[in-house]
Chains A and B, each alone.
Chain A
């Protein structure tokens, strides 16, 4: 069956530009997560959506970062006025629910390079 998909797979942008990253979760998955992985580091939690509840934005590094999700479908992560330190792989994951044993299924990621 279809897994989590993300687009674009690669994005090169100039410092100061805005970028929008897209995630299509697995159908029926109520929970959706965004992570960032910088070179040589572990995944950093950014934001979490669960159904129609208010998202947990506690991992967003600055107010330049925002994310939206419509119901239980597509999510977009927007980075405004990109900086070089935003360069990373941005990973999206979804799970059936957010319980401890609910496996997160990851997309292939979007590699963002800010010049």
Chain B
């Protein structure tokens, strides 16, 4: 039973346009969410996070939106750049106190076309 779902295995976006990566979750107890980015042959690297007390968090070109009623979050990248081509993972924290046992989605491969 997948508690965190990324339904698009891949996404192709033109350089300079907006990339929107989506993530759905089923457990309403999740209250902290993270996005990680992974290049081939490397481990995932932390990108941005959001607490459920917020509905938006912005860091440069990256913005994460959280819709708690829909149990949905999305990552927006504007403008998209070739270096953004990577696999993006959504993860949720079920614990108020710690960040271990994160529940991870399967990832979305983002391809930025020149």
- The interface of chain A, by Cβ under 8 A from chain B, is 4, 9, 31, 33, 35, 40-45, 48, 56, 58-59, 91, 93, 95, 98-109
Contacts and interface: CB of A to CB of B under 8 A. Distances in A.
B98 A100 contact: yes
Given A41-B106, A107-B43, A48 B101 contact: yes
A102 to B, nearest CB: 6
Interface in B93-114: 93, 95-107
Contacts of A98: 98-100
B73 interface: no
A109 to B, nearest CB: 6
Interface of B: 2, 4, 6, 9, 32, 36, 41-46, 49, 89, 91, 93, 95-107
17 contacts: A9-B41, A31-B100, A42-B2, A42-B104, A42-B105, A43-B104, A48-B101, A59-B101, A91-B44, A98-B98, A100-B95, A100-B97, A100-B98, A104-B102, A105-B45, A108-B42, A109-B43
A9 B43 CA distance: 12
A45 B101 contact: yes
Contacts of A33: 100
Contacts of A107: 43
A39 to B, nearest CB: 10
A40 B49 CA distance: 23
Q: Which of A4, A9, A100 has the most CB of B within 10 A?
A: A100
Q: Which of B95, B97, B102 has the most CB of A within 10 A?
A: B102
Contacts of B96: 100
A42 B100 contact: no
Contacts of B2: 42
